[in-house]
Amino acid sequence: MDGEAMSVLITGILILFLFILLIRVPIMIAKARHVSGGELTTVAVLSWCGIFLGITWFIALILALVYQPSNWVNKEESSSDMTKVENRNLDDLDKLYQLKEKGVLTEAEFQTQKNKILKL
């Protein structure tokens, strides 16, 4: 193979690599946004169909940016539940400290109960 043919081959491989990377952009965006299941499959199929029908790549890109994963909705609910648990734990620790300060609990009892609350 001469230098010109090798140059054409390398250029072709580079263009193919960039083309595949471009096709995968909507898929990478969707995965980074934690889109999964059927929505991710839809984005992937539309993105790869973009090889033949360019408009589907743009649709896949828009969907990757617009889809709101269902786990985001559940994350808000679980976040408020965690806040309630943390607040209850803080209240329990405060009560324990007050009992220790009044002399109702010994230092050892206080540490044992504190470790149970903090799950140490």
- What would the pLDDT profile of 7-39 be if each residue is shown by its tens digit? 999 999 999 988 888 888 888 888 888 887 888
Q: What is the mean pLDDT of the chain?
A: 81
Give the per-residue pLDDT at 11: 93
- Residue 30: which of 42, 19, 21 has the closest Cα? 42
- 91 plus 108 within the same structural domain: yes
Question: Average pLDDT in the 98-113 region?
Answer: 87
pTM exceeds 0.85, yes or no: no
- 8 plus 38 within the same structural domain: yes
Domains in the chain, number: 2
Higher-pLDDT residue of 83 and 19 is: 19
- 20 plus 62 within the same structural domain: yes
Report H helices in 33-106: 38-49, 54-66, 70-102
**In this model, does residue 1 exceed pLDDT 70?**
no
- Residue 20: which of 40, 48, 43 has the closest Cα? 48
- 62 plus 77 within the same structural domain: no
Q: What range defines the domain where residue 79 resides?
A: 71-118
Distance CA 80, CA 11 (A): 54
- 49 plus 86 within the same structural domain: no
Distance CA 81, CA 66 (A): 27
**In this model, does residue 74 exceed pLDDT 80?**
no
- 42 plus 81 within the same structural domain: no
